[in-house]
């Protein structure tokens, strides 16, 4: 009985951890690589979730429709970064507190718009595989977790390959470390940072679609994910894209074990505890900062 409970807790934790990694992936780019404290990113994810529900009501699968939505979010991310850059990055120096205030205000505005448009009630998706499960011996994996969880490894792998082997991806990694050297080489750092922020916003559309399949969401759902997303990014190591997946799984498994063998009410504190422990004992994260 205990072994069965343990196996199901670990499997559920792995699936949840993958979803946490998908949710935090855009933050790993904007905060980990660009050093922009985008605390509004979880709200971007919730916006992507609501957009997916709109098209799901027309018969579209949320994950499939999230791909064209990602292009829309990419464009919106570029436009928003242009505004942020003009106001808060004059001469390449942004005031952190002002930036935090901006993103906090943006998150409140987006939440208000979502409430005005959709109301404060929870919204969910209607897909055939919700309610079904994959049974492997004693382990039961609901498809509402399994299918969204499969998105994270694909997103992480695709983004890591893009950053490692493409010209624009290498430039994004370079601008995170030496913006001046990048400009000397003839590359416009501003364009690279706009592109990177656009990519971070694009991930919000896909991870939002994954999130709403897992369970119903409301306009304020992003508030519950802020600490968890930052915990994943910092635990992984600032800007470590592969580490994001590992850190998300570690947090997810720990939460599931605490919920299964302790008290479910303790589970939300796991991410914050691991965040504080990482900052205290290993500020560089499990995998170190991205290079």
Q: Which CATH class is domain 2-281?
A: mainly alpha
pLDDT at res. 289: 59
Residue 163 φ then ψ, to 5°:
-70, -30
93 pLDDT band, cuts 50/70/90, is: low
Distance CA 153, CA 166 (A): 19
Bridge partners of 141? 134
Distance CA 21, CA 46 (A): 15
Could you tell me if residue 19 is left (phi over 0), alpha (psi between -120 and 50 degrees) or otherwise beta?
alpha
Report pLDDT digits (tens) over 238-283.
Answer: 888 999 999 999 999 998 888 877 777 777 788 778 878 887 787 7
How many of the other CB atoms lie within 10 Å of CB of 212? 28
pTM given for the model: 0.91
Contacts 24+ apart (CB under 8 A), 62-69: 62/125, 62/127, 62/209, 62/210, 62/212, 62/213, 63/147, 63/148, 63/151, 63/206, 63/209, 63/210, 63/213, 65/209, 66/205, 66/206, 66/208, 66/209, 66/210, 67/206, 69/205, 69/206, 69/209
The CA-based diameter of the chain, rounded to the nearest angstrom, is 64
Report pLDDT digits (tens) over 181-192.
Answer: 666 666 788 888
Instruction: Please enumerate in sequence order all residues whose Cβ is within 8 A of that of 220, keeping only pairs 6 or more positions apart, or say none.
Output: 111, 120
H helix count then E strand count, the chain: 12, 2
Instruction: For the chain, give the mean pLDDT.
Output: 87
Q: Quick one: what percent of the chain has pLDDT higher than 90?
A: 49
Distance CA 252, CA 77 (A): 28
Report pLDDT digits (tens) over 135-156.
Answer: 888 888 999 999 999 999 999 9
3-state secondary structure of 190: helix
3-state secondary structure of 166: coil
Distance CA 148, CA 192 (A): 30
């Amino acid at each position: 009985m205990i072994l069965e409970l343990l196996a199901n807790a670990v499997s559920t934790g792995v699936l949840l951890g993958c979803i946490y990694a998908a949710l935090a992936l855009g933050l790993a780019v904007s905060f980990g690589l660009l050093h922009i404290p985008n605390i509004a990113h979880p709200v971007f994810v919730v916006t992507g979730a609501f957009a997916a529900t709109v098209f799901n009501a027309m018969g579209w699968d949320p994950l499939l429709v999230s791909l064209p939505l990602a292009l829309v979010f990419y464009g919106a991310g570029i436009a928003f970064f242009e505004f942020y850059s003009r106001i808060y990055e004059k001469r390449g120096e942004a005031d952190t507190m002002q930036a935090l205030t901006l993103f906090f205000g943006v998150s409140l505005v987006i939440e208000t718009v979502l409430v005005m448009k959709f109301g404060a009630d929870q919204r969910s998706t209607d897909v055939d595989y919700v309610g079904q499960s994959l049974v492997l011996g004693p382990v039961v994996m609901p498809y509402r977790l399994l299918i969204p969880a499969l998105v994270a490894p694909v997103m992480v792998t695709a983004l890591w390959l893009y950053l490692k082997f493409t010209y624009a991806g290498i430039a994004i990694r370079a601008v995170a470390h030496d913006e001046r050297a990048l400009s000397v080489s003839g590359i416009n750092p501003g364009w690279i940072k706009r592109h990177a922020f656009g990519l971070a916003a694009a991930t919000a559309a896909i991870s939002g679609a994954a999130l709403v399949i897992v369970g119903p969401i409301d306009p304020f759902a992003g508030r519950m994910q802020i600490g968890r997303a930052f915990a994943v990014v910092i635990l992984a190591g600032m800007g470590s894209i592969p580490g994001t997946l590992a850190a998300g799984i570690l947090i997810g498994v720990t939460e599931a074990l605490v919920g299964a063998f302790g008290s479910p009410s303790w589970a939300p504190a796991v991410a914050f505890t691991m965040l504080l422990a990482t900052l205290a004992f290993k500020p560089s994260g499990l995998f170190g900062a991205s290079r």
